[in-house]
Amino acid sequence: MEWLFAPFEVSFVQRALWGGLLVSGICALAGTWVVVRGMAFLGEAMAHGLLPGVAVATLLGGNQVLGAALSAGAMAAGVTALGRNTRFAADTAIGLLFAGMLSVGVIIVSRSQSFAVDVTALLFGDVLAIREVDLAYLAVALGLSLVIAVLGHRAFVALAFDPRTAHTLGLRPRWAQAALLGLLTLAIVASFHVVGTLLVFGLLIAPPAAATYWSHRIPVIMALAVAFGGIATFVGLLVSWYAGTAAGATIAAIAVGLFFLSAATSRLRIALSARVVRLPAPNANALVLLAALSMVLVGCAAPGEPEPPAEVPHGYVEGAEEMDSVQSRLVVAGSGGELRVIDLITEETTAFDRMPGIVGLAGDDRFGFPLTAAATRVLDGGGWTVDHGDHVHYYRAAVRDIGEVPHGGVVAAHSDTALTALIGASSTLLLDRAELESGVIAERGSVDGLAIPYAEHLVTVSTAGRVEVRTREGAQVTPLAGQCAAPSGTAVTRRGVVFGCADGALLVAADAGRFSATEIPYPRPVPAAERASRFTHRAGSTTLTAIAGERGIWVLDIAARSWRLIESGPVLAANTAGAGSSILGLTGDGVLHAYDPGTGAETAWAQLLSGPIAADSPPVIEVDTNRAYVNDAAAQAIHEIDYRDNLRRARTFALDITPDHMVETGR
């Protein structure tokens, strides 16, 4: 075994080994987030973006690490600045900076006549030239990376899976994104001396990517990535010593090889686990013996003993199919009473019997409620989401017509697991939710004023503005201190229920069974015509919008307990996907606008509607986590908008009716 350790008796190989191990730790901490967040293109661009700074430092005889750090910092700042421009996608900004920085680096190198060897080391690394002072720098870089990774872990996790959730939890996703870019910059600057600017990407990506085949927990993935990086360093130096190959390139090649080995091993493991083990065929004597033994056991069993009930799997819902993603539908009503349900996954449309006299359409994220002056129809959208807090279930079932309720004047609908509340101007009708899901309409009484099912209770606001918490049966539990004069407009968020009031909004929240009411006043006196009388928002989101009369759009931030007025002028519809997302507004000329939620400045616009717009049934904007939907009555169509891509029109659904009213379900 002397051949295995002989190369590492040489001092410069020992320094190379220690340097590679330190770099493996740094790259594992940053590379894991690059893999999890899908930032591979950004990582590659950052790696190539080092070239101008390192080339300039080499020409001037300065410190290459400092030059690399300045160049990478400029690249990160450029990505952050251009990434906020909503006129093009983030990868466009990355591609522009990638090409620009690489071009500048090549131009600088091409103007030099004297340092070809240094440029080769710059591009492909020179791990064998690591000095003791470089090891000290790498140790400091590893310590800083570890501090950033530990302190930012919670924010990075939320940012990786849902930036809006990170904002809702107060984790400052923009700061988290900046910290993540800093961690990536630190890893690339520390690693380029080992494997060069062209190969650093492999060492940054390959070990964490290989680790994902062995674990799904981020701390374990990081630990395994460190191990894989260490193995790649040791084996790469060993191969380089005996084969005479470039050490940095060999280390990167071994790291990539470990990825493919892990992928192949995972595939083999899955294939072996799926094999069915065949039992040998029993002979005749064994069958006779088994039959006799069975009869003896049956005879000894207690007569009439019931069989134990089969265990119901977690998440099972009879008559529904559990899916792996949201099953979104659009419930649409025409002015002539036509009813349609559009499946946004399959693009299939289901038609129902007409309901003459439709004046509106409400929804509670599973059911659509077409409304007339005297009745409410119930349509099951056939798609819904069950949020258990730590995990979510998505279900799909048949679209169906449940029937009608002889109760008119409904303006909104809200539900929990036990009740569905159909809210009118002065009273609320309660329906049994379980019965409704089984296809039966069962009334559970009515409550004066506005009532919303929340936290296993009913939160009510009377027409006089009195706020109470009641049982689901309607019995009073406790009055709340808050007041809500002239209540109008309701919403349910992750932080509580919201009522629109004459002087602002009232938030009712529950914590461990204790209810509290918080008034959120307008920033200034507001006339009745500019009040927020109807809230729109993405299901569960804590950022609400409402039309502010002729002035623009109100934005209510529940987390910050504050209002902001976007003075866009008159709009027909408004909505937003949540905290940090653009505020969408549709104006009377058919133009869809996007506004910055912080400054109120317009960031994008798109001509959407071309025909006349009916004053009695203006368009609506429905928003989910990925898309927005706008009904176009004149064109008999519904437009799907990618609000994160410069208001790009992703799809258009052509209809055979005039879509005057619309709600989205399944969210």
Average pLDDT for residues 90-114, to the nearest whole number? 65
Least confident of 41-45, 57-61, 166-170, 385-389: 166-170
Is residue 277 pLDDT above 80, yes or no?
no
Q: Which tens digits make up the pLDDT trace of 297-334?
A: 444 444 555 555 555 555 557 778 888 788 999 999 99
Least confident of 95-99, 281-285, 632-636: 281-285
Q: Decide if 418 contacts 401 (C-beta within 8 A).
A: no
User: Which 3-state string (H, E, C) describes 312-328?
Assistant: CCCCCCCCCEEECCCCC
Burial group, residue 288, by CB count within 10 angstroms (0-12, 13-18, 19+): exposed
User: Which 3-state string (H, E, C) describes 368-414?
Assistant: EEEECCCCEEEEECCEEEEECCCCEEEEECCCEEEEEECCCCEEEEE
pLDDT band of 534, cuts 50, 70, 90: very high
Is residue 72 pLDDT above 60, yes or no?
yes
47 φ, ψ to 5°? -65, -45
Is residue 118 pLDDT above 60, yes or no?
no
Q: Decide if 159 contacts 166 (C-beta within 8 A).
A: yes
* Average predicted confidence (pLDDT) for the chain: 82
Q: What is the pLDDT of residue 172?
A: 64
Average pLDDT for residues 139-149, to the nearest whole number? 86
Q: What is the pLDDT of residue 115?
A: 45
Q: Which tens digits make up the pLDDT trace of 75-91?
A: 767 766 665 555 555 55
pLDDT band of 425, cuts 50, 70, 90: confident
Q: Which tens digits make up the pLDDT trace of 555-611?
A: 999 999 999 999 999 999 999 999 889 999 999 999 999 999 999 999 999 999 987
Is pTM, for the whole model, over 0.85? no
Joined tokens for residue 137: 């720098």
Over its C-alpha atoms, the chain yields an Rg (Å, rounded) of 31
Say which residue, 128 or 281, is predicted with more confidence: 128
Q: What is the pLDDT of residue 364?
A: 92
Helix, strand, or coil (residue 330): strand
Q: At what angle do helices 173-211 and 11-37 cross, to 10 degrees?
A: 120
pLDDT band of 122, cuts 50, 70, 90: low
Q: What is the pLDDT of residue 594?
A: 97
* Distance set, CA 338 to CA 354, 365, 399, 617, 657 (Å): 5, 20, 16, 15, 7
Q: What is the pLDDT of residue 89?
A: 56
Q: What is the pLDDT of residue 602?
A: 96
Average pLDDT for residues 23-50, to the nearest whole number? 72
Q: What is the pLDDT of residue 281?
A: 45
Q: What is the pLDDT of residue 418?
A: 95
Is residue 42 pLDDT above 90, yes or no?
no
Q: What is the pLDDT of residue 359?
A: 93
Q: Decide if 617 contacts 335 (C-beta within 8 A).
A: yes
Q: Which domains does the chain have, with CATH numbers?
A: 1-263 (1.10.3470.10), 314-448 (2.40.128.630), 523-661 (2.130.10.10)
Q: Which tens digits make up the pLDDT trace of 472-508?
A: 988 888 899 889 999 999 999 999 999 999 999 999 9
Least confident of 66-75, 262-271, 356-365, 425-434: 66-75
Q: What percent of the chain has pLDDT above 70? A: 77
Say which residue, 481 or 33, is predicted with more confidence: 481
